[in-house]
Structures are given as C-alpha cells and as structure tokens.
Structure 1
Amino acid sequence: MTQKSILITGSSSGIGLDAAHGLRAAGWRVFASCRKAEDCERLRGEGFESPLIDYTDADSIVNGLAATLEATGGTLDALYNNGAYACPGAVEDLPTDALRAIFETNLFGWHELTRLVIPVMRAQGHGRIINCSSVLGLVPLRWRGAYVATKFALEGLTDVLRLEMRDTPILVITIEPGPITAKIRENAIPHFEKWIDWQSSARAAQYAELRSRLYDEKGPDRFEMPPSAVTKKILHALTSTRPKPRYYVTHPTYLMGFLRRILSTRMLDAVILRG
C-alpha cells in the first residue's frame, strides 16, 4: 500500500511540530515545512522532509510545494495549513499596515498554497485540506483584534471552499483549538513591539495587564491542553470516511461554540467581558 503524504506548514514548534511527529508515527509521509531555513534544517536532522515555505513569500510557496510534489511523484493526499501569529493590541491602536502584514501570513498565504494544491488533488481524484482556525474564529476577545479578524476571515473562506468542493473528491475541514501549549505568546511579542505604540494610546494604563500577560511567564492556562489534543483531531479528520466539517479542541471552544448558538450578541459579549 502506498504511503499517504501530507504537507504541514508552521512545523517548527507547537501544533505543527506535534502534528508532524504524530502523523509520522501513524504511518504518514510528512513534509514538515517551516518559514525559516534553520528550522527546516533542524527538522531534517530529525528525519523529516522539510521544505521551506513562508506564507509571505510567494516564491517559497511555489518552490516548497514543487519540492514536495517532486518527492512524491506529483501527488499529495493532504494539506494542513497551520502557520500563523498574533499581534496583540487595541483595534484603535492597530496600524492598518499591521493588519495587512498579519493577513499575508494568516490568510493570504494559506489561500495561495491551497489554490496550488487543489489542481493536484483534482487530478489524482482525492485529497483533504485541513485549516487550523481557533476558538477566536468563533468569538472575539479584547486586545486580539488582528488575530480574530484573520481567523473570522479564514472561517468564512474555508466554509465557502467546503461548499464549493462538494462536487469534487476534495474534503475541506476546519480545526478550532482553544488554549494549546505553544509559543504563540512569545512569538507575538516582536509584532506587538513593532506595531503598537501603547505609551501614546488613550488606553495606556490598560496595557499594563496585556503587557503582563505577554512578558510574564505565568504557567499554563487552566484550560490549556497539549498540542497532541489537536493532532488527535487531525488524525480523525484524515482517516475518517466521513470527517466532520469542523473539529473543536479544548473545553473553551466547546463552551463558546455552544454559547454562540444560544445567546444573544449582547449576552455573549457580557460573558466574554467577564471571562
């Protein structure tokens, strides 16, 4: 039986790295891509095939996929879009260029890679595209406007793609994790420092709490789960004959998904503001 192949983006740490290890252990041929050459080298040292793919670099997307297809003989069973970052800050303090930058990584690059993969999957007669969204693709959270905007947009784009692919052999699936042990907090700091002039903000005093959460290591969130919880759902999405359109991961995602269905907007806002 031919070994199935998957291309995973954002594999340097966290969810992507755990998925790479978990899927390889399950028998998949894993192409664990990263956006930095040194991370690709590290993963190659761990025995992975690791093409360089930076969502903000169109050439790297084309070349990374081409290298993957050359290695497989032109086929790809699954794509897991995962690489993303956060840029914390109040919406009123968020420069529009910061939004443009985060959308390049968190949405536009995903779209570009997905469009290149679809013809491959059409030609081979099967394929699964899994997009990693977030609980913040379901509900908003203060100080997370840039990240929330990209995930809300991703949810809509993925939903439309899923509907459009119904007449093809390509399945489109969304994963929606809540708090997962990863480096998203640490990785957000350079973007916060680059874009947010918090000292000049009308909310300067309120930034103390946000900066504390960003810079102070306070241990895991009480609802936090390991990345393996996401990998478990990915495996189900890849192997089930009838995968779910979306998979929740962690209790907060289940709770917020439920509350979004039953509460009015005003009531949901009140719950989120208290949380």
Structure 2
Amino acid sequence: MRTIFITGCSSGIGLISAITLKKRGYRVIASCRKKADQQKLIEQGFETVLLDVDDPESVKQAAQEVLTLTQGKIYALFNNAGFGVYGRLATISRAQLESQFATNFFGVHQLTQLLLPAMLEQNEGRIIQTSSIVGIIATPGRGAYSASKYALEAWSDVLRLELAKTNIKVCLIEPGPLKTYFSNNVNQTEKQNLVKNPPIAKRFTLPPEAVLPNLIHALEHPSPKIRYRVTKITKIANLAKRLLPDRLMDKILQNK
C-alpha cells in the first residue's frame, strides 16, 4: 500500500483527493490547520496530522509525525494547502505579502525538504503541487497570490531538474476556476473594491473533482506530465501566453 501525505484537507481539492485516494487503496495521511476540521477527518476514517504551514515549528512537527507514522516509508507528498491575498499591490503590506508566501511557498519548501530524504532513501516518490492559472498569467488584483504561484512553479522546475537522476517525479497541477471554498477564504485588502472573477469565468468553472484524473495520472503513470492544466481557460491562457505579444496580453488582461 502506497502512502500519500496531503496538506489542506479541510475542504475542496484536498478533501476530495483524500477521499478518492483512500477508496483507491492508498494510505492517506490528511492534514488541516484547525482541530475541528481534524476531528471531521478522523470521523471519516483518516489518519490525520495538524499542520499550519505558516508556522515553521508546526511544519517540522508535522513532518516528524508523518515519518513516524509511516516508519519513513512515504511515496507521495501533495502540497495542496494555500490561500489568496487579493488587492492592488499598492494596498498590500509587507506582512501580508510575507504571509502569502509563508503559506503558498515557504511552507511547501520546508515540508518537502523534510520529507524528501525518506523518498531518496527508497529512490521512489512523487511530489505534486497545487499551482494555479495565475501561476501562468498574472492578473490585476491578484499580484501577491500570483507571485507566490510563479515562485512555486519556478521552484518545482528546479527541484525536478535536481532530482532528474532519481525515481522521484515532480508535477504541477494548474487549476483554473473551481467550485471550492477558496474564494470565500480570500483575504481582500480593499473592501470597497473587491477582486472578483469575470462573469465569463462561470462558463469554465468546474467542480474540484476535475482535478482527480490529473492527480491520479501524476501519482500512477511511470512518466507523469510536468504540468497538468485543469479547465479549458487554463489551457487557453497558457497558449495565449506562449503565442501573443506581451502588450497584446496586457490589453486582454486589462479588458481593453
């Protein structure tokens, strides 16, 4: 039985992934930040670990708990926990930007660093990251969140290259708009000027289950993809970024 540790399992992508992989025969260790959410996971039959990725000590303790539970035998890490700080860059403080990166990037780095030696020892493993469409294109009002995902994309590219001679694969899942609680938990810096998805986004919005075929492929295929783009708008955005001049992309993103 292969073991996977998933962060951010209180709802959305993390929860549906944990449920699906458990049914598929994986040993799932699910993490969340709040004790109330942990209790709900326990009631669903999950092994759980409390984890606040903002807190280096919490990350250290969670990693040690995972290694103890698995006796150092862990196959996969799904770095899924994250949140968004939205607002014009001029309205975002250094502390808010640091908080954004602590959750979406620094915590990923530390947790992976602590669990990677176990994968290297068995020369097998998968490290999968939840990125975003804004890790491909940066849009007004999402600068902080986008910057953290751009950083995650670059970091994952380098880690993949550094592990190229091992049997540990690094994959990115890049969702577009999904029907999750993510938007409800966004930290908006301008209450009178809320950042919202354009109306057209509703046409491309999918349930979190849309991620599952990509996650399973990333976990089980001998040669997984480097990037899995979820929703049509993510695929269109990637193609446009590659083909269109920067100034034309600017006009499109400014709705001009």
TM range (shorter): over 0.9
Q: Which residue of 2 aligns with 1:99?
A: 97
SS at match of 1:274: coil
> Of the candidates 25, 39, 46, which is equivalent to residue 41 of structure 1?
39
Cα distance between partner residues in 1 of 2:82 and 2:247: 30
- Listed one character per residue, the Cα deviations across residues 23-49 of structure 1 (whole Å, up to 9, x for unaligned) are 111111111110112111110111011
Cα distance between partner residues in 2 of 1:148 and 1:174: 15
Alignment of 1:68-79 (within 5 A): 68-79=66-77
Q: Which residue of 2 aligns with 1:232?
A: 213
Say whether 1:273 aligns with 2:218: no
> Of the candidates 149, 152, 164, which is equivalent to residue 150 of structure 2?
152
Say whether 1:19 aligns with 2:24: no
Say whether 1:248 aligns with 2:229: yes
SS at match of 2:29: strand
Cα distance between partner residues in 2 of 1:105 and 1:155: 15
CA positional deviation for 1:117: 1.1
Q: Which residue of 1 aligns with 2:111?
A: 113
- Listed one character per residue, the Cα deviations across residues 107-159 of structure 1 (whole Å, up to 9, x for unaligned) are 00010000011101001120110011001000011111110010011111111
Q: How many residues align?
A: 254
Cα distance between partner residues in 2 of 1:154 and 1:267: 26
CA positional deviation for 1:69: 2.1
Query: What amino acid is the match of 1:251?
Result: K
TM-score, scaled relative to structure 1: 0.88
- Decide which moves more: 131-140 or 67-76: 67-76
Asked if structure 1 preserves the Cα contact closer than 8 Å seen for 2:100 and 2:144, the reply is yes
Query: What amino acid is the match of 2:120?
Result: R
Identity of aligned residues (%): 40
Cα distance between partner residues in 2 of 1:47 and 1:66: 21
Q: Which residue of 2 aligns with 1:54?
A: 52
Q: Which residue of 1 aligns with 2:178?
A: 180
Say whether 1:83 aligns with 2:81: yes
Give 4+ residue runs of structure 1 displaced > 4 Å after superposition.
none
Cα distance between partner residues in 2 of 1:9 and 1:43: 12
Alignment of 1:141-220 (within 5 A): 141-188=139-186, 191-192=187-188, 196=189, 198=190, 207=193, 210=194, 213=196
Cα distance between partner residues in 2 of 1:32 and 1:272: 37
CA positional deviation for 1:11: 0.5
Cα distance between partner residues in 2 of 1:114 and 1:184: 23
Please list every run of 5 or more consecutive structure 2 residues that lacks an aligned counterpart in the other structure. Answer: none
**Larger radius of gyration between Structure 1 and Structure 2:** 1
SS at match of 1:141: coil
CA positional deviation for 1:102: 0.9
Q: Which residue of 1 aligns with 2:128?
A: 130
Q: Aligned Cα RMSD in Å?
A: 1.7
> Of the candidates 7, 28, 49, which is equivalent to residue 30 of structure 1?
28
SS at match of 2:224: coil
Asked if structure 1 preserves the Cα contact closer than 8 Å seen for 2:67 and 2:115, the reply is no
Cα distance between partner residues in 2 of 1:184 and 1:235: 22
Query: What amino acid is the match of 2:231?
Result: T
Cα distance between partner residues in 2 of 1:42 and 1:239: 28
CA positional deviation for 1:273: 2.1
